[in-house]
Amino acid sequence: MLEFTLITCHYGDTYWVTSLLKSLSESSEDLEFIVLDNSGNYPNTVSSQHKLNLTVVNMTAIAQGTGSENHASSLNWALRNLDLSGSQILILDSDMVVLQESNFISNLKQLVKENECIVALQEGSKYLSHPCFMTFPKQIAKQLDFMEGMREFGFDTGRLIGLQLRKMGFLVKKVEAERNPFASIGYFYSSLGAVHLTSSSLQFLPSRLSRRNSLWFLKQIARKQIHTCVQTNRKFGAKDLLIVFVRSISLKIKKRNIF
């Protein structure tokens, strides 16, 4: 049996989920990869390119709701309906950036030996979990509800998963969000060696796309440059800002839309 089944949701720009899969490809012997494609536009080519055990599930006719509810219902459906091979389920947001040389999977294996359930915390919270990162045993996956509290109290996706696990009798290790040392956006989970760049996929919700302008495109280019900085463990600086502006001007001249 594989050690981990990694489940991530994709929406909009395929850059983020592809980058996540590539960053973990060296640990592919320990991972089953499942991409829940909420846009219906993810090409299943990265699997052959990087020899990944990858399944892409088109969720456009399955997931319910919009935005966060779509995210939550996709995770619920996957945990209840898919044949998952890993003994542990690993949930990651597609814009979770694994630092190079962080030994992410090796460190995670050790953490799981000490704590069967581990959840990232929402920034600024001591108790609300965040689906950018969490892991738990497969045998209890169907009992979890990523939508709990969303409609009743306005919580975001999976914020009560940690509490649900605790009520099942598990000791839950909570990983706190720290300030991102590489850029002004995102949060650092130092014990994991990863940064969550926050809401990268949500930039492509229809409500946001309808308002996109030159500044919106500039921000998307900046997010990708920040991603590069985080992966290579360096701070976003003046040189990176110049790269963002030069790239945006170049794309405008060529009239290319990379999104």
Per the structure, the count of domains in the chain is 1
What digits encode the pLDDT tens for the residues 110-120? 999 999 999 99
Is the residue at 59 inside a domain? yes
Give the integer Cα–Cα distance in Å for 90 and 197: 18
Give the CATH number, domain containing residue 32.
3.90.550.60
Name the pLDDT band for 230 (thresholds 50, 70, 90).
very high
73 versus 1: which is more confidently predicted? Answer: 73
CB 201 within 8 Å of CB 9: yes
pLDDT, tens digit (0-9, with 9 covering 90-100), for 144-169: 999 999 999 999 999 999 999 999 99
Predicted confidence (pLDDT) per residue in 173-195, tens digit = 999 999 999 999 999 999 999 99
Judge whether 46 lies within some domain.
yes
Residue 118 falls within a domain, yes or no?
yes
Instruction: Assess whether pLDDT exceeds 90 at residue 34.
Output: yes
**Residue 162 falls within a domain, yes or no?**
yes
Please, are residues 175 and 191 in contact by the beta-carbon 8 Å criterion? yes
pTM for this predicted structure: 0.92
In the chain the first and final C-alpha atoms are separated, in Å, by 38
Q: What are phi and psi of 50, to 5 degrees?
A: -115, 10
- Per-residue pLDDT at 232: 92
Identify the domain containing residue 56 by its residue range: 4-196
Q: Is the CB of residue 30 less than 8 Å from the CB of residue 4?
A: yes
